Structure 1
């Protein structure tokens, strides 16, 4: 049997397979969730996983989960990310911070179950999109922004709105502030907003970082200082949702 998890995000789609085959891969979502779902189906077939076979079960999650019309199960991001975080960490009690492209989630897991969560999906502040917009404003890639931020002294970016934050940055550039100091301020701003959300779900001895920024050690370091406890970035953290979906495909009874 093969168990597949497909996490259709706003900017990237992640796929994980456990069972007879084992793999993770990521592909841009593009303009159409439906189109990327079909592309994923074909790509899986090329890799020897036929989603239409009785020997395959598929769970879809994420922003575009309803577009995966061949899924056996459609499950919320919170549930899938929690299950994936447990699989990646080997823990049954932990907190998860997932910084995605369009939203950020903070999840508290106690005795294997989600006991509390917070989700920011109303504004891009505190998300990957915020960092992308601000990096573009400075003429940098996201990786360049993080590299530069490590060399700077963070200046305050107080605006909660992306549009107003852009205005703040424009003012700092006009004042001749160092680009590395502005970059550090951007990273700190995101960490502060994520910390505010995290503080609403309660404390945990173990906090792991998932999502697109989970492979950025510097962001985990800044987040640790802001929250006041170590935030661990795990290998394959960006696949937490799809890995969780794959495990749930295995554990749930097929309709």
Structure 2
């Protein structure tokens, strides 16, 4: 039996197929593209087109989902897994660590989980405002008219941005542009403002090791800022796929295979 984990995110759908102990298929697909091209709606149920995803039907596949759409967009013949558990199991599989603080910065929320001896002992979830999520960074890159890949590289001499709301933050950034600050200072300010919103949440989750996952794990500036707070920053090879991998891994462990 193979185990297919699908993380139904607000911006992207992440897919990981595990056969034995190995991830043999992995994909990141835009949310709209996934539902349009890789699913069909039959008799009130959403069916996944396995063959279109490159997943053969010659082996039984157990499907488990997590993420933003796991309940309100339930896939046919699937089981739902809590996001926190999915991301922790993904980190356990990818890092082989047992003691760490997990920081997952997704498209619309931030999850912080303390893991001791492989067990969840504390957690906090910030899903009330986009200002502490990846969407904030994307929006600000658009305001600055630069690519997201360029923005995440700037961390030195950040301009001070204090707005606690994503919408007001855009207005504040435009004001700083008008004041004549350089692009590098503005971009660094965007990254540092995200870090400032996350830092208070991490205060009660001190640990030697921080495991950083989610799309924002690839943000070089955030990595630099977090190095001040933790002895070790660990970024798994597939940070954005972590939730989907956790689904597959959890499902395999539970099956005993």
Q: What is the TM-score normalised by the length of structure 1?
A: 0.88
The CA distance in 2 between the partners of 1:214 and 1:64, in whole Å, is: 22
The residue aligned with 1:141 is 147
Greater mean alpha carbon deviation, residues 65-74 or residues 239-248: 65-74
- Aligned positions of 1:41-120 closer than 5 A: 41-44=48-51, 46-50=53-57, 55-66=60-71, 67-120=73-126
SS at structure 2 position matched to 1:22: strand
The residue aligned with 2:3 is 3
In structure 1, list runs of 5 or more residues that go unmatched.
none
If each structure's helix is expressed as a fraction of its own residues, which one has the higher value?
1
In structure 2, list runs of 5 or more residues that go unmatched.
41-46
If each structure's strand is expressed as a fraction of its own residues, which one has the higher value?
2
Name which of 207, 210, 222 aligns with 1:204.
207
**Preserved contact between residue 126 and residue 190 of structure 1 (Cα < 8 Å):** yes
Distance 1:137 1:246, change over 3 A: same
The CA distance in 2 between the partners of 1:196 and 1:156, in whole Å, is: 17
**Preserved contact between residue 141 and residue 148 of structure 2 (Cα < 8 Å):** yes
**Preserved contact between residue 215 and residue 234 of structure 1 (Cα < 8 Å):** no
The CA distance in 1 between the partners of 2:35 and 2:152, in whole Å, is: 33
SS at structure 2 position matched to 1:168: helix
SS at structure 1 position matched to 2:191: helix
**Preserved contact between residue 2 and residue 49 of structure 1 (Cα < 8 Å):** no
The residue aligned with 2:163 is 159
Cα deviation 1:124-168 (Å, max 9, x = unaligned): 111100001111111112112123x24x41111111111221121
The residue aligned with 2:43 is none
Q: How many residue pairs were aligned?
A: 247
Name which of 234, 241, 244 aligns with 2:243.
241
SS at structure 1 position matched to 2:49: helix
Name which of 173, 185, 195 aligns with 2:199.
195
**Preserved contact between residue 152 and residue 220 of structure 2 (Cα < 8 Å):** no
1:218 is displaced (CA, Å) by 3.6
- Aligned positions of 1:25-44 closer than 5 A: 25-30=27-32, 35=36, 38=39, 41-44=48-51
1:251 is displaced (CA, Å) by 2.2
Asked if 1:182 is matched to 2:183, the reply is no
1:46 is displaced (CA, Å) by 4.9
The residue aligned with 1:126 is 132
The CA distance in 2 between the partners of 1:240 and 1:107, in whole Å, is: 14
Distance 1:176 1:98, change over 3 A: same
